[in-house]
């Protein structure tokens, strides 16, 4: 089996800033220059769940969508407004995608509460974890098995004032998936990768699994903000070496103070049940 590559992107947030489209186009140019075999985007493709944002995503990523080389799942930001993310999983919370050398288990960790822009936490049930278990039973031995989910499965440091405020007040909106730790225990020895987004700073964790099979958990961060993405090399069902970071031509976008302050004010007002005009 030939050596192949997998790129992991997340949290594009098209429309979050005037630069987001340009950054997304630069990412696609870099992916094409690297001749990446398959691309996954783990949610928050749009910023407000609007149809116009989704149309731009499909236009920008058309070189990979048109050739069947891109798989994506919804994030919480794809659920407000027009709720475009609701239709991406064909009505399923868990589905599989098979592509040469890869067995992808796509998991929708969003819920109806995400229609509210500020209720950003994810949710999964034991029934959905069972469905992932059943899906992995069908994974071929000569393919890398990867679970794609938007929300983080392990505790991660808060990255903004709204997240710190939510944690301080005991709200769930910044927390990891409540069944995350249990889920990882169930995945050990049966899966190679858990790829997620939601938090905008990249992280990674390597866990021991049964039979010496490692379970690697990667958060992509916000690819448009970072201007970079990880590329995994794999062959005959095995990951080769460590993933490599590849940069696009657009430099990393620093967050402005307004980026953190205004959402914080909106967040607090929303939780108090006051309309913001």
> Distance between CA atoms of 233 and 239, rounded to whole angstroms?
6
CATH number for the domain formed by residue range(s) 4-271:
3.60.21.10
pLDDT for the residue 275: 33
User: What's the pLDDT tens digit per position in 227-258?
Assistant: 999 999 999 999 999 999 999 986 555 554 44
Tokens of 109: 């960790």
Q: Pairing relation of β-strands 4-9 and 144-148?
A: unpaired
pLDDT for the residue 21: 95
Question: What residues in the chain have per-residue pLDDT under 50?
Answer: 256-277
Q: Which candidate, 61, 55, 43, 86, places its Cα nearest to that of 198? A: 43
Domain boundaries, the chain: 4-271
Cβ neighbours of residue 107 closer than 8 Å, sequence gap 6 or more: 73, 93, 94, 124, 128, 132, 147, 148, 149
């Amino acid at each position: 089996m030939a050596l192949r590559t997998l790129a992991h992107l997340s949290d594009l947030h098209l429309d979050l800033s005037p630069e987001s489209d340009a950054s997304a186009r630069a990412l696609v140019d870099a992916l094409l220059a690297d001749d990446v075999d398959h691309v996954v985007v783990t949610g928050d493709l749009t910023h407000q769940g609007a149809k116009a944002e989704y149309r731009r995503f499909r236009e920008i990523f058309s070189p990979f969508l048109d050739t069947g080389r891109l798989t994506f799942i919804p994030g919480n930001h794809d659920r407000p407004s027009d709720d475009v993310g609701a239709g991406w999983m064909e009505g399923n919370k868990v589905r599989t995608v098979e592509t040469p050398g890869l067995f992808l288990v796509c998991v929708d960790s969003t819920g109806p509460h995400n229609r509210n822009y500020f209720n950003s936490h994810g949710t999964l049930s034991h029934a959905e974890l069972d469905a992932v278990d059943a899906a992995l039973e069908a994974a071929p031995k000569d393919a890398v098995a990867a679970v794609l989910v938007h929300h983080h499965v392990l505790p991660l440091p808060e990255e903004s004032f709204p997240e710190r405020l939510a944690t301080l007040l005991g709200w769930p909106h910044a927390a990891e998936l409540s069944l995350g730790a249990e889920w990882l225990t169930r995945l050990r020895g049966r899966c190679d990768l858990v790829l997620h987004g939601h938090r905008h700073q990249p992280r990674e964790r390597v866990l021991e699994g049964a039979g010496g099979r490692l379970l690697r958990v990667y958060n992509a961060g916000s690819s448009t903000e970072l201007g970079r993405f990880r590329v995994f090399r794999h062959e005959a069902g095995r990951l080769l070496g460590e993933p490599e970071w590849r940069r696009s031509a657009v430099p990393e976008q620093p967050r402005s103070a307004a980026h953190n302050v205004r959402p914080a004010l909106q967040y607090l007002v929303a939780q108090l049940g006051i309309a913001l005009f």
